Structure 1
Amino acid sequence: MAIRALRPNDPRVLGGFQVLGLLGEGGMGAVYQARDRDGRTVAIKVIRPEYAAVPEFRARFRSEVERARQVPPFSTAAVLGADPDHSTPYLVVEYVDGPNLSEVIADHGPLTDGALHSVAVGVATALVAIHGAGVVHRDLKPANVLFALGSPKVIDFGIARALDADDGLTRTGQTVGTVAYMAPERLEGPLIGQATPAVDVFAWGAVVAYAANGRSPFPGDSPTAIAIRILTREPELGSLTGPLRAIVERTLAKNPAARPTAPELLDMLLASDSAPPTRPVVLPAPSPRRSGQHRKDRPGFPRLAAAVGAGVLTVALAAGTAIAMWPSPDKNPLPPAPSAPPPEPVMVINDPLIGPSLWAETTNSQSSCTFDGEFLIIKGRHGIMCTGPRKEFTGDQKTLISVESVVGELCARIYFRYHHTGEGSYVLEVCRNNLALASTTPNAPWTVLNEGRSVNLGAKSHRFSIEIEDEFAGVYMDGLRDPVLTAPLEEPALTSGTVEIAAGGHSSENSTIKLYGIEVWTAG
């Protein structure tokens, strides 16, 4: 599992733990590798400050951590500790040093025979332990099944909503989970947004089908299409055969009452007529294509940013992102299922911007780009382009960068699809009090595509994500699910290009911009 260097705003110490590196980030927070006083390596999930500031979220976190402590650690990552009262609450769990199920399938292909049955039994065993402690996982998926010494361990159940925690803390329309593994009752009907043990059993069936075939049993080219298939179609189980296929079919029943409980599921799997000899999942050396990419919480993108007319059914994800779906597949036929799963995002640029690396120090007569060991600092009275890698990208992509501060009249600019030969570019401009998406072309040097909201950069740093899907750009801030800016990308000459860091504008006095931590991901 790849570990990334700590960024300037990342903690160095949490409680009695020394933070070693960043394992990954998601919508709820960041996950770090750390070491306790005895030298044991652990993983720490730190909740984002914007959630920690909400009293009801902190109360829910406290309740769910207490229940997570009661989950026996067989087939799960053991919960070792937590501090719900910290300024940013955190959860400490066992560090599982191994690839997840998605990575295993991508590297070595679908599982068969004893290896497949081992995964089925191991994940079912984890559900028995989780449900026995009064917890529902709510986001069981291949990325949350890790392999340690060939045995599967289920992670990320520590902030699942407790079974009997009907305390009103989850707002209407908020649903935690990944669409491809969501039970139909979470997408439509009176239980929408709720979670019972039956939703985890459904997710188990989808995970096992994925392990056997290398793709979801409800394939689709968008979250909307996937959700409609879950609601209206039977699963595609492909190469699954025999008793295991029959068990998976029962767990994927549309009616939750028709699914077995987790203990019943485990009993079925261990019955003599359905259980081939199990064995650990033996992982050969990773292929060059994937070497060094095993990391938790690989960012998923693109995001869905579409709404469809009146009368639609709406499903809300973890932080309230709405997915609009047609209620009748007869009137709106499903798109054809893809012949193969889409490629996972691949990180193609990663520079902490704390010293010369992919970006170099740059100066002109009025301004400069320099490093101080913590930030890339742009200083001066006029715009400047910082010298960076001239690697071009096309198609869907995602660029992340943190802006620590903007002091003065110059604005930070993140150019994407930039052409060094003069055709132009798209750009996110981050000024002291406002944001803008713009385009530049020879005939229109600066065209604002969308602008708005004050970001108040003087209060704290902000993490921006520019996400391109199907020639449509969305700008997200601080991990929130809703975009702060969106715009279509309609310039015919700007379908590819580089990513550049710059400052723009003019200032009567020296301005200072501080940035750090740029990442660029492509669709693979």
Structure 2
Amino acid sequence: MVDGTLPGERTQPLRSRDPRALGVYELVGRLGEGGMGTVYLARAANGVLVAVKMVRADLAHDDEFRRRFRSEVNRARQVPPFCTAEVLDADPDHESPYLVVEYVDGPTLAEVVEQRGPLTKANLHGVAIGVATALTAIHGAGVIHRDLKPRNVLLAPGSPKVIDFGIARAMEATSANTRTDQMVGTVSYMAPERFSSDPDTPVTPAADIFAWGSVVAYAGTGNTPFHADSPPATAARILTQPPRLDGLSGPLRDLVAHALEKDPANRPSSRELLDLLISGNERPAATAAAFADQPALRAAATEAQAVTGVSGPPTAGTMTVPTLDIPAGMVGYDENSIVTVPISAPPGETPPGPPPPEPARRWALPAAVAFLILAVVAGAVMLALSLRHPGGDQATPTVTESAQPAPSAPATAPDITDGLTRESLWKATALPNGKAHCEFDNGLVATREDSDPFKCKGPQDEIPPDLRAEVNVRLLTPDSCATIWFRNVAYHGYQLRVCERNIYLGEHGSGAAIPVLRTMPLGDNPIAVGAEHTRIGLVISGDKVQVSRDGIVVGDAALTVKELQAGRLLLGVHSERDAPRNARYEVAFTDLKIWYL
């Protein structure tokens, strides 16, 4: 602030009813209002300008919201500042809860497009890279944005900045804001699975990838790819129609179309997006032009690419398609507005009941839309609900004779089974640079051309924290380690590394280092490279994991990272701890079975 003026075109003077301070932050202007509350420009005690988001009054008195808000802020603070507005502070227990983030002095992408029209090709490619960089950082910290849109992308000097990541979840399913049969979102940028009427359908990073495609399409054409005259009609187009991408061309158009796939399993991950934008064929000129005047963007993208591992989108299956009952009064709203969408059954129909009882809860997988009927007069979108569960072979428990046998496998059929001899729940995967891939050759073969870890593309769905898992592993090259991640969310989870002489349990975060929590030596019975498979078993219960090899307990370890609870189970490759950096590491998996405990 200079001579009493406020920085930035978006800053307005405080109003008479606005507070003059929140905690230790002096409020000096208004930056805007949103679904969560009011955003103020403020000065910290050290004089630095920050943005303070004060929660609106009806949410402030909701204990459930405060609990969720506290949890989501803690997650958001782990997001590295790669094209993101850094979360600096928060006070969920203040009379008016608030969040403090880095102040970014720049217009929103929406304001720029509204005032000047679609971006030039170089600027568009820069925005595409910047938002993909931000999503790589956000997803790498185990956070999902949930409300990515042009108004949450600030065009700051140096690089775009994504704001408001991860906070939308705190607003969902709270008594002061929405009922449990409602959701919060911005219709034009919501992925098809976001409209699901199944409360158990998870929101995954793939939903943010869909939003990325919509944001880039808007920035390049001036229109959202599923534009219609009302939110119900927009939702109908998202669920049933291909995107309209007139105005985009070349490889970027193809990548946007890939991100806008109806089935989340077919969308790339944020890291794959970033790699394709920067290193993909036919893009060197566009990337060079985008980086020419934005060295900060180049640095942020390079740092984000340094995050190891690639987590794939959800596995193909059957997408639970919703019934949307959008109030008639909503028709005519701007399709970009944040709306609360109640989920209900079509008029005159009884909501579908739960599926018949099964021996155990199976893994529901999203897939294609069944049908859609748009009732214009009532403003309702009515769809069929389709669910299927992955089938599979019955379990054959391992029986061995030993003084210290592992607990026998449950007598019921496994909740998840995959022979891993062809694409099913697990998919072929490859990094664009060719340094790592997973393919099927008498098993799921994971290969890495350096010593970094690499995850094969497996199911995105979170599974219960307590489970028993068994899988056959083979070590195909020296110093290779067959690797199992569990309770994994994005880039954070437990990593079990099965190597020739040792089995290691570690905590895999977004950095290259993976702290070892427990080493389990294999003693005089190492796993021979190239030998027939060995059966690795895990029993994960509460704060403990027990590991077995061919039915014999190898050891157990405490699970000490409290925030790692439910998550994904993934397979992949890593190297022995002191292995050469530039070498080929290769392992194979077959016959995976998982039982929920």
TM-score (norm: length of structure 2) = 0.47
Stretches (4+) displaced over 6 A: 165-170, 280-283, 323-327, 330-333
Counterpart for residue 265 of structure 1: 273
In the alignment, the residues of structure 2 paired with residue 194 and residue 307 of structure 1 have an alpha-carbon distance, to the nearest angstrom, of 29
Counterpart for residue 215 of structure 1: 223
How big is the shift at 1:328? Answer: 3.5
Q: Does 1:122 align with 2:130?
A: yes
Using a 3 Å threshold, how does the CA distance of structure 1 residues 192 and 106 change in structure 2: closer, same or farther?
farther
Conserved? CA contact 2:181–2:344, under 8 Å: no
Using a 3 Å threshold, how does the CA distance of structure 1 residues 329 and 28 change in structure 2: closer, same or farther?
same
In the alignment, the residues of structure 2 paired with residue 100 and residue 325 of structure 1 have an alpha-carbon distance, to the nearest angstrom, of 38
Q: Which amino acid aligns with 1:306?
A: A
In the alignment, the residues of structure 2 paired with residue 217 and residue 252 of structure 1 have an alpha-carbon distance, to the nearest angstrom, of 9
Counterpart for residue 6 of structure 1: 14
Counterpart for residue 278 of structure 1: 289
In the alignment, the residues of structure 2 paired with residue 43 and residue 37 of structure 1 have an alpha-carbon distance, to the nearest angstrom, of 14
How big is the shift at 1:279? Answer: 2.7
In the alignment, the residues of structure 2 paired with residue 136 and residue 208 of structure 1 have an alpha-carbon distance, to the nearest angstrom, of 18
How big is the shift at 1:150? Answer: 5.2
Q: Which amino acid aligns with 2:229?
A: D
How big is the shift at 1:176? Answer: 2.5
SS at match of 1:32: strand
Conserved? CA contact 1:79–1:158, under 8 Å: no
Using a 3 Å threshold, how does the CA distance of structure 1 residues 44 and 5 change in structure 2: closer, same or farther?
same
Conserved? CA contact 1:122–1:153, under 8 Å: yes
Identify the match of residue 68 of structure 1 among 60, 69, 76.
76
Q: Does 1:306 align with 2:328?
A: yes
In the alignment, the residues of structure 1 paired with residue 120 and residue 205 of structure 2 have an alpha-carbon distance, to the nearest angstrom, of 27
Q: Deviations over 1:161-204 (max 9, x none)?
A: 38xx9999985233222000000111135368852101000000
Counterpart for residue 56 of structure 2: 48
Residues 379-394 of structure 1: pairs in structure 2 closer than 5 A: none
Using a 3 Å threshold, how does the CA distance of structure 1 residues 170 and 63 change in structure 2: closer, same or farther?
farther
Conserved? CA contact 2:183–2:342, under 8 Å: no
Counterpart for residue 102 of structure 1: 110
In the alignment, the residues of structure 2 paired with residue 330 and residue 82 of structure 1 have an alpha-carbon distance, to the nearest angstrom, of 43
Q: Does 1:136 align with 2:144?
A: yes
Structure 2, unpaired ranges of 5+: 1-8, 295-325, 347-370, 380-597
Counterpart for residue 372 of structure 2: 328
Q: Which amino acid aligns with 1:251?
A: A
How big is the shift at 1:246? Answer: 1.2
Residues 102-501 of structure 1: pairs in structure 2 closer than 5 A: 102-149=110-157, 151-161=159-169, 171-190=179-198, 194-275=202-283, 276=286, 277-279=288-290, 305-306=327-328, 320-322=340-342, 328-329=372-373
Q: Which amino acid aligns with 1:41?
A: L
How big is the shift at 1:109? Answer: 1.8
Q: Which amino acid aligns with 1:132?
A: G
Conserved? CA contact 1:182–1:202, under 8 Å: yes
RMSD of aligned alpha carbons: 3.3
In the alignment, the residues of structure 1 paired with residue 200 and residue 179 of structure 2 have an alpha-carbon distance, to the nearest angstrom, of 12
SS at match of 2:47: coil
SS at match of 2:139: helix
How big is the shift at 1:118? Answer: 0.6
Conserved? CA contact 1:172–1:193, under 8 Å: no
Conserved? CA contact 2:236–2:374, under 8 Å: no
Using a 3 Å threshold, how does the CA distance of structure 1 residues 244 and 324 change in structure 2: closer, same or farther?
farther
Using a 3 Å threshold, how does the CA distance of structure 1 residues 280 and 18 change in structure 2: closer, same or farther?
farther
Counterpart for residue 568 of structure 2: none
In the alignment, the residues of structure 1 paired with residue 257 and residue 88 of structure 2 have an alpha-carbon distance, to the nearest angstrom, of 36
In the alignment, the residues of structure 1 paired with residue 27 and residue 153 of structure 2 have an alpha-carbon distance, to the nearest angstrom, of 24
In the alignment, the residues of structure 2 paired with residue 117 and residue 325 of structure 1 have an alpha-carbon distance, to the nearest angstrom, of 42
Conserved? CA contact 1:100–1:144, under 8 Å: yes
In the alignment, the residues of structure 2 paired with residue 55 and residue 319 of structure 1 have an alpha-carbon distance, to the nearest angstrom, of 23
Using a 3 Å threshold, how does the CA distance of structure 1 residues 259 and 53 change in structure 2: closer, same or farther?
same
In the alignment, the residues of structure 2 paired with residue 170 and residue 194 of structure 1 have an alpha-carbon distance, to the nearest angstrom, of 17
Conserved? CA contact 1:151–1:280, under 8 Å: no
The count of residues paired between Structure 1 and Structure 2 equals: 305
Identity %: 55
Using a 3 Å threshold, how does the CA distance of structure 1 residues 9 and 158 change in structure 2: closer, same or farther?
farther
SS at match of 1:279: helix
Using a 3 Å threshold, how does the CA distance of structure 1 residues 323 and 307 change in structure 2: closer, same or farther?
farther
How big is the shift at 1:48? Answer: 1.2
Using a 3 Å threshold, how does the CA distance of structure 1 residues 167 and 129 change in structure 2: closer, same or farther?
farther
In the alignment, the residues of structure 1 paired with residue 39 and residue 277 of structure 2 have an alpha-carbon distance, to the nearest angstrom, of 33
In the alignment, the residues of structure 1 paired with residue 226 and residue 49 of structure 2 have an alpha-carbon distance, to the nearest angstrom, of 38
TM-score (norm: length of structure 1) = 0.53
Conserved? CA contact 1:72–1:129, under 8 Å: yes
Conserved? CA contact 2:51–2:100, under 8 Å: yes
In the alignment, the residues of structure 2 paired with residue 167 and residue 330 of structure 1 have an alpha-carbon distance, to the nearest angstrom, of 29
In the alignment, the residues of structure 2 paired with residue 108 and residue 325 of structure 1 have an alpha-carbon distance, to the nearest angstrom, of 43
Moved more, 1-10 or 147-156: 1-10
Conserved? CA contact 1:174–1:320, under 8 Å: yes
Q: Which amino acid aligns with 1:259?
A: R
Q: Which amino acid aligns with 2:290?
A: R
Q: Deviations over 1:407-431 (max 9, x none)?
A: xxxxxxxxxxxxxxxxxxxxxxxxx
Moved more, 193-202 or 141-150: 193-202
Q: Deviations over 1:333-383 (max 9, x none)?
A: 9x9xxxxxxxxxxxxxxxxxxxxxxxxxxxxxxxxxxxxxxxxxxxxxxxx
Conserved? CA contact 1:268–1:274, under 8 Å: no
SS at match of 1:278: helix
In the alignment, the residues of structure 1 paired with residue 95 and residue 70 of structure 2 have an alpha-carbon distance, to the nearest angstrom, of 13
Counterpart for residue 506 of structure 2: none
Q: Does 1:24 align with 2:22?
A: no
In the alignment, the residues of structure 2 paired with residue 88 and residue 225 of structure 1 have an alpha-carbon distance, to the nearest angstrom, of 37
Conserved? CA contact 2:232–2:374, under 8 Å: no
Using a 3 Å threshold, how does the CA distance of structure 1 residues 225 and 8 change in structure 2: closer, same or farther?
same
Structure 1, unpaired ranges of 5+: 284-303, 309-314, 336-524
SS at match of 1:161: helix
Using a 3 Å threshold, how does the CA distance of structure 1 residues 53 and 330 change in structure 2: closer, same or farther?
closer
In the alignment, the residues of structure 2 paired with residue 167 and residue 48 of structure 1 have an alpha-carbon distance, to the nearest angstrom, of 13
Conserved? CA contact 1:307–1:323, under 8 Å: no
* Larger proportion of strand: 1
Using a 3 Å threshold, how does the CA distance of structure 1 residues 191 and 247 change in structure 2: closer, same or farther?
farther
In the alignment, the residues of structure 1 paired with residue 269 and residue 38 of structure 2 have an alpha-carbon distance, to the nearest angstrom, of 32
In the alignment, the residues of structure 2 paired with residue 225 and residue 325 of structure 1 have an alpha-carbon distance, to the nearest angstrom, of 18
Q: Does 1:33 align with 2:44?
A: no
Conserved? CA contact 1:43–1:95, under 8 Å: yes
Q: Deviations over 1:227-286 (max 9, x none)?
A: 100011000001211111111111100001111111111111112424212336999xxx
Using a 3 Å threshold, how does the CA distance of structure 1 residues 187 and 321 change in structure 2: closer, same or farther?
closer
